[in-house]
Structure 1
């Protein structure tokens, strides 16, 4: 809402992480305004799961926490003049816990019982940072306000020769992550992989085939010595018989 050509804006990054200072910018805009004001200030009203810290700066560069006063600017206010311009004030906001916060900014006339000149309301979702480690890959995600790991809709990781075996909260894979539970603080999550059964089955199959070939070759080699022994035995018998017959003939001739 604005009147007499003035408005207030709050510019900020949509991915806000709980406990992390976020740079933002408060703007006071005059759209060819037709009214001067001698004493105005910007009131801040914040509702949410906790009280944030909103740091703005005085003219001399001194940082102040707007939430300690409920407004930005001198207590007696500052002057606004007609024209077309934008006054920008850098701020840093830190939201201690995740959740949804509502920030209302009112530009008020201090000389008229704080009559509202311009007003804007912002709904800000503060999330947590989730660092995902999947093998050699790593990525960072931020929940949209309070949300579970599942709410991030992170694709199931892949690794050649392995199958995905779940998310864990430690690198040793001792504590499984409850992916349906709301996250309340920044967290690092690890993907566990196990050797694919398909790969194992193929290796076992190849090993079995190799063993079968070896056994068959062994069987063929065993037959050859046996056949040779039998042949040599037969030859020996024949040789003995011939020798005996020859000896008999010699003896008979001698007689």
Structure 2
């Protein structure tokens, strides 16, 4: 269990650093395209070394793989757009609302009403997000908050649809194909959605984003998941905003206001409650 706890803590810290890459002087489309490319290359060579990549199986389930890949593309693009238009705190905290959207989607699919804990947690999340929204803020910051919520919604759809794929394919195959879809879906936008990364240091950080923050984090999460419960792993990953906000304050001097702390505690607490309701 110790190895699993170490792995999931490292995964949560790495996951929390992802928002920092939104501070690069590059369009979210370029950031996401590079992220998918370097992650796919890493996963391919990893699979070539240890095995596990089954493209025949992927071909038989190409439609859901493409759908989830497109959802992942939008989730990443909107997340980095939220970072750039609002800030890291707002982007990560609005993303942390995804368990609420997941519960709603599951309730719709099951044609059932949410239980009392889910309704209460949902109400807390709505209030907390309302506290984050500054209607007097300039248009970009307000729009960045809305975009952050759509990122969480896209991730909820992604999680619901991707879960069924694990019944037919190994996770490394799913992740590899989804990252290829991310790259392909970004290509039509790169010609006019600038700026493109220009400095060598920017490309270096994009390699880190794809290799470490995406491919390595994915493997650490899977390693931890094989030794810990899914609820425990989800609980650690839900702490992403804590790490992201701390990193942003230390590295970029972004302020941590009392309002952010209070709303953050409400969102994270309610999200953890939703994650631990054990709704299937």
Greater Rg over alpha carbons, structure: 1
Q: Which protein has greater RCO, CA pairs closer than 8 Å, 6+ apart?
A: 2
Higher helix share goes to which structure? 2
Specify which structure has the higher proportion of strand. Answer: 1
- Shorter-chain TM-score bucket reads under 0.3
TM-score, scaled relative to structure 1 = 0.19
